[in-house]
Amino acid sequence: MGSAQRDGELARLIGAVARGDDAALRALYEAMAPKLLGIILRILRDRAAADDALQEVFVSIWQRAGSYDPRAGAPHVWLVAIARHRAIDRLRQDRSSRLTQTEEGWLERLADTRDDEADLARRDALSHCLGAVEAPQRECIVLAYCEGWSREELAARYGCPVNTVKTWLRRGLISLRGCLEAA
């Protein structure tokens, strides 16, 4: 099937889904699920999460099929965009829930039951000094250095430019270093 023919069939199926046709949704699923799952899996890198996201994608397609406008672009592009955005949203939700876990107990997760008194004292000093760093800088430091978040991800999380995140990290680390040296 050629690209134009495939797009015509996909557009027809999306139109039928918009009218509430269950069979059209099944046909659309059979035609596009493998490709959409591949895209989602590349983003999430977890099969179970990708399967869940794919189901959410088709629920979204069912709900939003009436908003598809063939003049705005090819139907497969519209379907891929829905899948990609859903996967990215899920990835952000997962990272956001890790942020909550990070705020609540990142220091305890770093603890080693074999730590000696000197290690415990250093960890207590780190905890104290992090408490003295301003909240956005502290959160960025913890997410960047304990959770592996990139500057771009932090900028998206806080809705600010990447350069602002760089500044927060730099100032936060300077403040943290000064406090630890004094401790």
pTM here?
A: 0.54
Structural domains of the chain in order of their starting residue, each with its CATH number: 3-92 (1.10.1740.10), 111-182 (1.10.10.10)
Please list the pLDDT of the chain residue by residue as tens digits (183 residues): 677 788 899 999 999 999 999 999 999 999 999 999 999 988 888 899 999 999 999 999 999 999 999 888 899 999 999 998 898 888 777 665 554 444 555 555 444 444 455 555 677 778 788 888 887 888 888 888 777 788 888 888 888 899 999 998 998 888 888 888 886
Q: Count Cβ atoms below 10 Å from residue 48 Cβ, excluding itself.
A: 8
What whole-number distance in Å separates Cα of residue 129 and Cα of residue 118?
A: 16
Written as one string, the DSSP assignment of 120-174 is: HHHHHHHHHHHHHS-HHHHHHHHHHHHS---HHHHHHHHTS-HHHHHHHHHHHHH
What whole-number distance in Å separates Cα of residue 154 and Cα of residue 73?
A: 32
